[in-house]
Chains A and B, each alone.
Chain A
Amino acid sequence: QKEVEQNSGPLSVPEGAIASLNCTYSDRGSQSFFWYRQYSGKSPELIMSIYSNGDKEDGRFTAQLNKASQYVSLLIRDSQPSDSATYLCAVNGAGANSKLTFGKGITLSVRP
């Protein structure tokens, strides 16, 4: 059973702080990793993808991947109240017919 764990949460940070969201996965053969943001009552929206070890930055968002530790994280710098949402980690295994496995999500609240 391939698992994606997002155990910490809910998370509350003050406006302007760095929010750090963590995710671990069980399938060592996993090839691609995604972060989705889901506002209440809305659908998941892709915000970051990462495929190789290291950091990937996009604006205020940084995704970090460590395949040896089977760990992927999302950092949100200068957090804004509009970042308040549930963040879903998703992991894709190897192979042509691989599918995404989602974590249960972490709810982030940014306090003004």
Chain B
Amino acid sequence: DAGVIQSPRHEVTEMGQEVTLRCKPISGHNSLFWYRQTMMRGLELLIYFNNNVPIDDSGMPEDRFSAKMPNASFSTLKIQPSEPRDSAVYFCASSLARGNQPQHFGDGTRLSIL
């Protein structure tokens, strides 16, 4: 079975550019999560969706970050404009939307903003 699929795997871009990260959850999973991981702050939840609806975006650092889930099989995380401090690994994870279900992670996008 295919796991969570993220693209691109690596992204290097200049400060001020728009960055779009993409995620396809595991088929049948109806919860989707976006995380950011850095050495300093560890794994931070940015936003999560249940049945394509954003439930909690309190982790989104600022208005430069936005996320959408137009359908059950696709989500995007956009940063505009990007800044060097956004450099991190961004993970997407999905799960069944029943309270005790574990999350399964994609391979991540390693983002470098120059």
Contacts and interface: CB of A to CB of B under 8 A. Distances in A.
Interface residues of B, number: 19
Contact of A43 (B33, B45, B100, B106): B106
B102 A34 contact: yes
Given A43-B106, A43-B107, A46-B104, A99 B99 contact: no
A98 B108 CA distance: 23
A32 B100 contact: yes
B104 A99 contact: no
Nearest to B41: A104
A94 B99 CA distance: 7
A49 interface: yes
The interface size bin for chain A is: 20 to 34
A57 B50 CA distance: 31
Given A97-B56, A104-B42, A51 B99 contact: no
Given A43-B107, A88-B43, A104-B42, A98 B99 contact: yes
B114 interface: no
B55 interface: yes
A102 B56 CA distance: 16
Nearest to A100: B103
Interface string A79-99: 000000000101010111111
A55 interface: no
Contacts of A100: 33, 45, 103
Given A32-B99, A102-B43, 11 more contacts: A34-B102, A36-B105, A43-B106, A49-B102, A94-B99, A95-B99, A97-B50, A97-B56, A99-B33, A100-B33, A101-B45
30 contacts: A31-B99, A31-B100, A32-B99, A32-B100, A43-B91, A43-B105, A43-B106, A44-B43, A44-B91, A44-B105, A45-B105, A46-B102, A46-B103, A51-B100, A90-B103, A92-B99, A92-B100, A96-B50, A97-B50, A97-B55, A98-B99, A99-B33, A99-B45, A99-B56, A100-B33, A100-B45, A102-B43, A102-B45, A105-B42, A105-B43
